[in-house]
Amino acid sequence: MTTAARTPPIISKFPAMGTNIFTVMSSLAAETGAVNLGQGFPDFDCDPKLVDAVTEAMRKGFNQYPPMTGVAPLREAISAKVEALYGRRYDPAAEVTVTAGATQAIITAVLALVKPGDEAIVLEPCYDSYVPNIELAGGTVVRVPLTPGSFRPDFARIAAALTPRTRAIIINSPHNPSGTVWTRDEMLQLQDLLAPTDVFVVSDEVYEHMVFDGQRHQSAASFPGLAARALIVSSFGKTCHVTGWKVGYVAAPAALTAEFRKVHQFNVFTVNTPMQYGLASYMASPRPYLELPAFYQRKRDLFRAGLAQTRFKLLPSEGTYFQCVDISQVSDLQEAEFCQWLTREIGVAAIPLSAFYGSGFDQRVVRFCFAKKDETLRSALDRLAKL
Walk along the chain (387 residues) and give the pLDDT tens digit of each residue: 678 899 999 999 888 887 788 888 889 989 999 999 998 889 999 999 999 999 999 999 999 999 999 999 999 999 999 999 999 999 999 999 999 999 999 999 999 999 999 999 999 999 999 999 999 999 999 999 999 989 999 999 999 999 999 999 999 999 999 999 999 999 999 999 999 999 999 999 999 999 999 999 999 999 999 999 999 999 999 999 999 999 999 999 999 999 999 999 999 999 999 999 999 999 999 999 999 999 999 999 999 999 999 999 999 999 999 999 999 999 999 999 999 999 999 999 999 999 999 999 999 999 999 999 999 999 999 999 988
Q: Which CATH fold would you assign to the domain 48-284?
A: Aspartate Aminotransferase; domain 2 (3.40.640)
Which secondary structure element, helix H or strand E, spans residue 254, and what is its range? helix 254-267
Comparing CA positions, the residue from 311, 322, 305, 303 lying closest to residue 364 is 311
The span from the CA of 224 to the CA of 237, in Å, is 27
The span from the CA of 112 to the CA of 97, in Å, is 14
The span from the CA of 144 to the CA of 199, in Å, is 15
38: number of CA atoms within 13 Å, CB side? 27
The helix/strand/coil state of 35 is strand
DSSP 385: T
The helix/strand/coil state of 76 is helix
Q: What CATH number does the domain located at 21-40+290-384 have?
A: 3.90.1150.10
Q: One-letter amino acid identity for 262?
A: K
Strand locations in 32-129 (E): 35-36, 96-99, 119-124
The helix/strand/coil state of 99 is strand
The span from the CA of 335 to the CA of 351, in Å, is 8
Q: What is the chain's length?
A: 387
Burial class (CB in 10 A: 0-12, 13-18, 19+), 48: exposed
**Is residue 36 a contact partner of residue 24, using CB atoms and an 8 Å limit?**
no
Three-class secondary structure assignment of 283-295: CCCCHHHHCHHHH
Domain ranges across the chain: 21-40+290-384, 48-284
pLDDT of residue 62: 98
**Backbone angles phi and psi of 328, in degrees to 5:** -60, -35
Comparing CA positions, the residue from 122, 163, 160, 159 lying closest to residue 144 is 122
Comparing CA positions, the residue from 139, 193, 192, 191 lying closest to residue 168 is 139
pLDDT of residue 1: 67
Q: Is 48-284 in the same CATH topology as 21-40+290-384?
A: no
pLDDT of residue 113: 98
pLDDT of residue 18: 77
The span from the CA of 156 to the CA of 26, in Å, is 37
The span from the CA of 31 to the CA of 76, in Å, is 44
